[in-house]
A and B are shown apart, each in its own frame.
Chain A
Amino acid sequence: MKRVLAVTAFTFRELIRSRLLFVWLISVIVLCGLDFLLSILSFGSTLQIFMDLGLAGMEISGLLVLLLGLAVTYTTEMDQKAIFLHLAKPLTRGEYLLGRILGFFLVNCLVVLGMGLVIVGLVVFLGGGTVPVLFYECVVFILLEMFVLTTLGLTYQMIATSMVGVVLYTFFTVFLGQCIGEVQWLLNQQLSHWVKVLLRVVYYILPNLEAFNLKDRLYDPNLVLGWAQWQDILLYAFSYSFVVFLIGWINLEKREFR
C-alpha cells in the first residue's frame, strides 16, 4: 500500500501543479458570475438557481479537470514514455493503476468540494438561506460519480492508443451514462425482443450515471434516500469501479510498451 500511496501523491502533485486548477478557478468565476446574473433574472427562486447551477458546476468542473488531466498525463506517461520508469520499479502494474486513480480522485475531490464551499457560501451569505441536507448528499453522489468516471478514464488510458481516444471515450461514456434512465424508459416500451436484449446489455455495461444524478431530483417529492439507497449506491459505485479497475489492470499487464 505504501507504493500505491507514493504513486497517489506523485499523481496528485503532478496534476495540481500542471495548472489544471486554473480550469477550476475559471469555472468558479464563471459560476459566480452566472449565479449573480441569473439570481437577478430569476423570479423568486434565487436559492434554487444557486444550488442548481452550483451542483451542475461541480460536476462539470470535476469532469473538465478529469478530461484535461487524462490528456496531459497521457502525453507524459504514454507518448513520452515516462511510464517505463514506473513500471521498471518494484511496483506492480495494478498498484500503479490504483495509485493513479486515487491521485486523480483526490484532485477531483478538491475541485468538487472547493466549488461546493463556494456554493454554500453563496446560498448562506448572499441568498440568506439555508442549505438542505439533500444538497450535501448530492455532493457525495457527485464524488461517487467522479470516482467511477476516474476509474473509467484511467482504464481507457491503459487501453487507448492515443490521447484523443482517451478523451473521446471518456466524454462519450459520460453522455451515454447520463441517458441510462432513458434506456430504462425504452425498455418499458413496445420493442422487439432483440432490441430489448441489446438495450439491456447497454443498460448493464454502461455506468449508470443517472443513479448519481441526485441533483436533478433535489426537489423530487418521490425521492426516498434512506440507508438502503445509500447501501445500493455505494455498493454499485465501488463494484462498478472495481470491475473497471480489473479490466484496466489486466489490459495494463498485457500491454506492451514499444
Chain B
Amino acid sequence: MERTAVVTDSPCAIQIRGLSKTYKTGFWFTPKVTHALKTVQLDVYENQAFGLMGLNGAGKTTLIKLVLGLLRPTAGSVAVLGGNISQRGVRQRIGYLPELPYFSKQHTGRELLGYFGSLHGLAGSALQHRVDEILDLVRMRSAAGLKVSGYSKGMLQRIGIGQALIGKPRLLICDEPMSGLDPVGYKEMRDIFIDLKKAGTTLFLNTHILDEVERVCDRVGILHEGVLKEVVPISKILESSVPVDYWIDVDGAEAAKLSGMPFQETVRNNGGVQVSGLVLAETLALLTARKAQVKGVRPLSSQVEAYFLKAIGAQAHLNRPIGGRRP
C-alpha cells in the first residue's frame, strides 16, 4: 500500500474555522437546542486523503453538509478549494457521495450518469465517453441499461460513486462510501480511492470502517459529540503504543484453568479468552504456569480502532471488540 507523506504546507482543499452548528427543534413552549458541531477548526490538504471518524451522531454528516452548503453554519466559516461553496466554479470541481444515495427509480444507471454529467457541463460525445469511462470504472457497464429500481444496494452505491466522479472532481467528499457493499465491492471501492489519490484527487471520507481509514487515509480527524478531538497523521497512529485487544485460543477442556486470572474480560464459549494488550504477557505466563494448552494468540482490534476509542475517551470499550471481528 502506497502512502503519501503528510505535507502540511500544501494548499487547503477545505479550510474550516470556528465552525458551529446548532439545531433548534420543538415548538414555542418546548424549544430544544442541539449543538451538532462545536467550534470546529480543520484543514484538509490537497492531494491527500482525509478520514473523519466518529460514532453515530458525532456530527460527521452535519460537517459534510456544512462543507457542501446544504446546511448553513450557526457560526464560523468554510472555504472549499479556495472559494465559497455557493460558487458554481467551486462545485464544478467537487464530487459528493451521500450516505445511501437515493436516485429517481425511473431512470437507468446510464441516464443518471448522463444527467449528472450534463450538470457538470458535459455534452454530446464527450459526455457519452465520460459515462462509459465511469461505467467501466465502477463495473456497472452490464447493468447500465437497467432501471435503478432493479439495482441492489451495492449497485446503487457504485452508481453513487460514479455520479460523484463524473465531473472529474479535484475534491471527492464521501459519506460512508462502503455502506451496502459486499467484500468484493468493498475492495473495488478501496482500490478506486487509492487510484484517485494517486491521480491527485483530494479525498474526504466520512466513515465508520476503520480498516478503510487505515488503508486509504493520510490524516484522520476524530469527531466526538460535535467536537473535533484530534487531527493526526495516520502514520502517527500506526506508530503509537495504544494497546490493542488479543484473542488467546485455549483448549476448551482447559477452560477451568482460566478462573482467577487477571483478565478484564473473559470469553469462554469457544475455548478462548480476550485480553487487553496490557495484560497479554502476564496472562500468557499464568496460563503456561497452569499448564493450559495455548493454541494461538492474535490481535483482535486494529491500532486505528484502539486509537479512536482512546481518543473519544471510551475507556470502558478498550477491552471490547467493536465490529464483527470476534472469532
A binds B: yes
**Interchain nearest-CB distance for A18 vs B (Å):** 5
Would B98 and A6 count as touching, CB distance under 8 A? no
Would A85 and B116 count as touching, CB distance under 8 A? yes
| 1/0 contact string of B56-95 vs chain A (CB within 8 Å) | 0000000001001111100000000000000011011010
B96 touches which of A88, A256, A257 (Cβ 8 Å): A88
Chain B residues with CB under 8 A of A257: 65, 70-71
Instruction: Give the CA-CA distance A85 to B159 in the complex, in Å.
Output: 12
Known: A85-B103, A90-B88. A10 touches B115 (CB 8 A): yes
Most buried by A among B68, B103, B118, B167: B118
| 1/0 contact string of A180-222 vs chain B (CB within 8 Å) | 0000000000000000000000000000000000000000000
| 1/0 contact string of A1-35 vs chain B (CB within 8 Å) | 01100110110011011100000000000000000
Would A76 and B119 count as touching, CB distance under 8 A? no
Closest to B147 in A: A17
**Interchain nearest-CB distance for A252 vs B (Å):** 12
In this complex, the interface size class of chain B, counting residues with CB under 8 Å from chain A, is 20 to 34
| 1/0 contact string of B104-115 vs chain A (CB within 8 Å) | 111100010001
Would A2 and B118 count as touching, CB distance under 8 A? yes
B121 at the interface (CB under 8 A from A): yes
A84 at the interface (CB under 8 A from B): yes
Would A6 and B167 count as touching, CB distance under 8 A? no
Chain A residues with CB under 8 A of B146: none
| 1/0 contact string of A52-80 vs chain B (CB within 8 Å) | 00000000000000000000000010001
Instruction: Give the CA-CA distance A91 to B88 in the complex, in Å.
Output: 7
Question: CB within 8 Å of A: which of B303-325?
Answer: none
**Interchain nearest-CB distance for A189 vs B (Å):** 38
Known: A81-B98, A82-B104, A256-B70. A6 touches B23 (CB 8 A): no
Chain A residues with CB under 8 A of B70: 84, 87-88, 256-257
Would B119 and A91 count as touching, CB distance under 8 A? yes
Would A14 and B106 count as touching, CB distance under 8 A? yes
A-B CB proximity, top 9 nearest? A17-B106, A80-B102, A6-B118, A88-B96, A89-B119, A90-B92, A257-B70, A90-B91, A90-B88
Known interface pairs A17-B107, A82-B103, A90-B120; 13 further A-B residue pairs with C-beta atoms within 8 A, sorted by A's residue number:
A7-B119, A13-B106, A13-B111, A76-B104, A76-B105, A80-B102, A81-B98, A82-B102, A85-B163, A88-B68, A89-B119, A90-B88, A258-B71
Interface of A toward B, CB cutoff 8 Å = 2-3, 6-7, 9-10, 13-14, 16-18, 76, 80-82, 84-92, 256-258
Provide a sorted-by-A list of 9 A–B residue pairs whose CB atoms are within 8 angstroms: A3-B121, A6-B118, A13-B107, A18-B106, A85-B101, A85-B163, A88-B96, A90-B88, A90-B167
